[in-house]
A and B are shown apart, each in its own frame.
Chain A
Amino acid sequence: MNASWAAIWTIARRELAAYFESPVAYVFLVIFLLLSGFFTFTFGGFFERGEASLAAFFNWLPWLFLFLVPAAGMRLWSEERRLGTIELLLTMPIAAWQAIVGKFLASWLFLIVALALSFPIVVTVNWLGDPDNGVIASGYVGAALLAGAYLAISCMTSALTRNQVIAFILAVVLCLALILVGFSPLTDLLARWASPWLVEAVSRFSVLTHYDGFQKGVLDSRDLLYFLSVIAYALFATGVVIRNHRTG
């Protein structure tokens, strides 16, 4: 057990270093912080709300992450395939799942760092008013889980192809589908002809449905379970894709 986590940690460290050794990490962080700030203070109506909360920030995250997380995850496996290093990695004395988990954790950690860097908004809210910091904390947990779910899907699409652009587009489409099944303009449309229980059942598959709970400050184990199962399922599928690719 210990040795297997040591290998996972070695892979994760290499992956994290790879982000920061290329401009990718810095470009990503700058764009994320600029856009999240922009959305929060303009479309989010941060000041107009007249309440001390981060709702303006968190409401936009599912849409912002929709593009940024696949951009951060698209290289994970397609780059290994393009460079041929996948052959080195998978002939090291490790199981494929260790490589998959190691790479995922590294990217997730990177995204969590990006999220943490949005702390000036938290400071601002606390300075201007008296927000419920418990709600903010649970909002961040939800945002981290959302990023993890998108990222796991990006891992899967990245394993499918050596072309990063294809990996990116596939991931965006899949993540978008997970948003739209619970996006109210669409579910309202569906509700016109479908029975309510069907609409309800479909929207349960949406990241939005489960993300919203966290934004209200409710830590529901079902929401947690949803995100963790999306992550586990997508990583398992990544393993299947990698195995099939090698079987030929």
Chain B
Amino acid sequence: MIKVENLSKSFGSKRAVDGVSFEVGTGEVLGFLGPNGAGKSTTMRMITGFIPPSAGSVSVCGLAVQENPIEVKRRIGYLPEAAPSYTEMSVLSFLRFAAEMRGLRDEGRSSAIRRVVELCHLESVLGQTIDTLSKGFRHRTCLAQALIHDPEVLILDEPTDGLDPNQKHEVRTLIREMGESKAIIFSTHILEEVEAACTRAIIIDRGRIVANGTPAELKARAATGKLEDFFRSITRSDTATESA
């Protein structure tokens, strides 16, 4: 479904993503782990076609992102980091906008909105301006936008960031359920989330993949049997000085 080959991205002299390759199939939920600034968001932005790669290629559903950007974008639902939305709009008009941009009209539009409103529990705030919503609702509004066209591929950049424990649990459950029929990549800092929702995890550090396996496999590689210890042993904090 998603095939990433040797993907690299440089900003000036800084190499944000450096030769990343992996594949995600339908029915898989890939957890994307790594310290801040490791290149998670940059990789996801290249998959969604928001920024072009410096080298390497991405294909989604057999289509190359660089050659067929619009066809690829049709198949992807994307929740950008920090869940941006047009804050002066109401939830309903924002979802209508998203649906129409995805080519949904009339009955198709209404039923799509009904479906995502139920999935993301937005019934109570439909008429409210996004500006006035709590962070949890704003986040779910943006998530609803990503699900509106029932895409085959979901790219979620920190979907649980800023949510309370109950909301986190709900979003994880949602991801796991949707993962049965879609290909999903989601990034997170929270290691338990990987165990709770992923079929596979990739740990990325300073632009490179440093581990790739099922949560159980990764845990087994730590002496203590804890994912957190494994994570800390193979990644460096951003305060550590560059050795190379």
Contact = CB atoms under 8 A, between A and B. Distances in A.
Interface of A: 3, 6-7, 10-11, 14, 17-18, 21-22, 83-85, 87-88, 90-95, 246-248
Contacts of B82: 84
Interface stretch (B42-50, B187-195, B208-216, B226-234): B42-50
Given A22-B88, A87-B84, A10 B73 contact: no
B173 interface: no
Interface in B136-160: 142, 145
Nearest to A243: B52
A7 B101 contact: yes
Given A91-B48, A91-B49, A92-B73, A85 B101 contact: no
B145 A93 contact: no
A95 B88 contact: no
Given A17-B89, A22-B88, A85-B84, A90 B101 contact: no
Contacts of A91: 48-50, 73, 76, 78, 80
Interface in B1-21: 9-12
Nearest to A87: B80
22 contacts: A6-B103, A11-B101, A14-B86, A17-B93, A83-B87, A84-B80, A84-B84, A85-B86, A87-B78, A87-B84, A88-B78, A88-B80, A88-B142, A90-B50, A91-B73, A91-B80, A92-B102, A93-B102, A94-B70, A246-B50, A246-B52, A248-B10
Contact of B11 (A7, A21, A94, A248): A248
Interface string B74-108: 10101011101111110001000110111100000
Contacts of A18: 86, 88-89
Contacts of B86: 14, 18, 83, 85
A94 B48 contact: no
Contacts of A84: 80-82, 84
B51 interface: yes
Contact of B85 (A88, A93, A247, A248): A88
B101 A94 contact: yes
Given A93-B103, A94-B73, 20 more contacts: A14-B97, A18-B89, A87-B45, A87-B50, A88-B78, A88-B80, A88-B85, A91-B48, A91-B50, A91-B78, A91-B80, A92-B73, A92-B98, A93-B101, A94-B70, A94-B101, A246-B51, A246-B52, A248-B10, A248-B51
A93 B80 CA distance: 15
